[in-house]
Chain A
């Protein structure tokens, strides 16, 4: 997966690094980088400008350039519960995904033998079936009269007596949908571990728990960081799971941005929320990467 790829090594033939060669490099780079600049970077600037626009006094419903900081304070004052909920749901989904994905990635890296590449295909394969339909299928699986809900109800563990149209269903959907993003980076970093280190831990009478805690887990940290980021980021911005599996009380910030942008056409509010989401995620990611001490992630 992307973020854990090592920095590009320069082929020996490039060592001369003449002016002519770097001109070829720019020729190769410029079309793609221009595309990314025009359609990724500039839109972010436009989003920021839009987020500060004010409603036109002459033509209501249209917006004119401005410097309306209150767009941010108003939007956040109104929608902070959805904001907090998005981060809580995404955080829970990421934690569950880590717990579910780790044994699978561990098995593929160390125990699968000849089955390894087939199992990796099977991890990616679900993405070939429509994201929306797979999420919709959970409506059937978690239905009120379905086996999952009845089983959990006989145990009396469901607070509302149901799963569908509750936050539980939304978190379950998010966990499911982004699981492959957790498995692949975990696998990639477990695969790099020299298995002899784990064997050495066992030989030195480390209990399986100790070997895992002192050897395997620390060595798999780059995968844990990459996987949690790749799961958390799309989950925090998602609105499909909350829309299809949750009730109106479980809406996430993505739902709010979507309705404000597309239905209410309140572009400044929607842009302010979208930009805040981007900023919040960026800050969170940077502190997280710094704290976990893997800065060479990119």
Chain B
């Protein structure tokens, strides 16, 4: 009885994790399905067709490439802008700090549909043509806040004595930044960029409002949901999921090894 009571919370935790992964298991499993109808919703028979002809359905791969391109460009800009803001917030004194914080917080507390529709209202009123540019503008806007949060946390967690040591050793401010500060913050920036890319790549609501005739990967899936999602989409999504998991887990392993090495010393 005691044993059960002590392990019940662990059992619940494992069950919740399984629940989180249940739909992903379905997504991956149905990439190996040969659907009986055009709707890939119930299991018919095992097939590798979706994987061997992953671009076999028109529009799937081109929308995928579009999403990757938009994700990379948006992430690059948002990471630069967001990192600059984080440095200002953590390292400098300036007037208007609280309104800056509010401006950064607001996009995260606003439903996507409000941001998507208000940007569309702006573009419509300016008669600005919808397409990749408007989607990237929108993505950069909503990613900046997440980058600021991630990089700021890293900057705040840094040991200030490391930079003091560099200055004590007569390193110029730019050398201190280049050889001490930046390398220390870099993992935080890379983490923020990864987060930003995954947000951009998977964004549907804001993109849908501002894409015009442009088809990103989520927009393709949305359209396909009405007439049947081909298993190729499942295969591509599974690939993305596994790639992201590998990146994040290897970062974990590297951090873990570092900790272990430090502990030995």
**Residues of chain A whose beta carbon lies under 8 Å from any beta carbon of chain B:** 1-3, 5-14, 17, 21-22, 24-26, 28-29, 31-33, 35-37, 39-44, 46-47, 49-50, 100-101, 103-104, 106-108, 111-112, 117-119, 121-141, 143, 145, 176, 179-180, 229, 233-234, 236-240, 244, 254, 257-258, 261-262, 267, 270-271, 274-275, 277-278, 281, 285, 298
Complex contacts, B93 vs chain A, CB 8 Å = 10, 14, 17, 21-22, 25
B66 located at the interface, meaning its Cβ lies under 8 Å from any Cβ of chain A in the complex: no
User: For the complex, what is the distance from the CA of A112 to the CA of B16, rounded to whole Å?
Assistant: 14
Given pairs A117-B256, A176-B23, 5 additional interface contacts (CB within 8 A): A103-B9, A106-B9, A132-B221, A141-B22, A267-B124
Given contacts A8-B97, A28-B88, contact A46 B121 (CB under 8 A): yes
B104 located at the interface, meaning its Cβ lies under 8 Å from any Cβ of chain A in the complex: yes
User: For the complex, what is the distance from the CA of A267 to the CA of B122, rounded to whole Å?
Assistant: 11
User: For the complex, what is the distance from the CA of A104 to the CA of B118, rounded to whole Å?
Assistant: 37
B229 located at the interface, meaning its Cβ lies under 8 Å from any Cβ of chain A in the complex: yes
Interface class of chain B by DSSP? helix
Contacting A at CB under 8 A, from B214-265, are 217-218, 221-222, 225, 229, 233-234, 237-238, 240-241, 244-245, 248-249, 252, 255-256
Complex contacts, B106 vs chain A, CB 8 Å = 40
- Number of A-B residue pairs having CB atoms within 8 Å of each other in the complex: 290
Contact A25 B27 (CB under 8 A): no
Contact B13 A31 (CB under 8 A): no
Complex contacts, A37 vs chain B, CB 8 Å = 103
B20 located at the interface, meaning its Cβ lies under 8 Å from any Cβ of chain A in the complex: yes
Q: For B110, give the chain A residue with the smallest CB separation.
A: A278
Contact B244 A130 (CB under 8 A): no
Complex contacts, B163 vs chain A, CB 8 Å = 13
Q: Which of A42, A107, A179 has the most CB of B within 10 A?
A: A107
User: For the complex, what is the distance from the CA of A254 to the CA of B121, rounded to whole Å?
Assistant: 16
**Residues of chain B whose beta carbon lies under 8 Å from any beta carbon of chain A:** 9-10, 12-13, 16-17, 19-24, 26-27, 30, 41-42, 81-82, 84-85, 87-95, 97, 100-115, 117-122, 124-125, 137-138, 140-141, 144-146, 148-149, 152-153, 156, 160, 163, 198, 202, 204-205, 208-209, 217-218, 221-222, 225, 229, 233-234, 237-238, 240-241, 244-245, 248-249, 252, 255-256
Measured CB to CB, the closest approach of chain B to A114, in angstroms, equals 9
Checking B107, B108, B225, B240 against A129 with a beta-carbon cut-off of 8 angstroms, the contacting residue is B240
Contact A240 B152 (CB under 8 A): no
User: For the complex, what is the distance from the CA of A271 to the CA of B122, rounded to whole Å?
Assistant: 11
Contact A274 B17 (CB under 8 A): no
Q: For B219, give the chain A residue with the smallest CB separation.
A: A132
Contact B244 A128 (CB under 8 A): yes
Q: For B82, give the chain A residue with the smallest CB separation.
A: A32
User: For the complex, what is the distance from the CA of A123 to the CA of B21, rounded to whole Å?
Assistant: 9
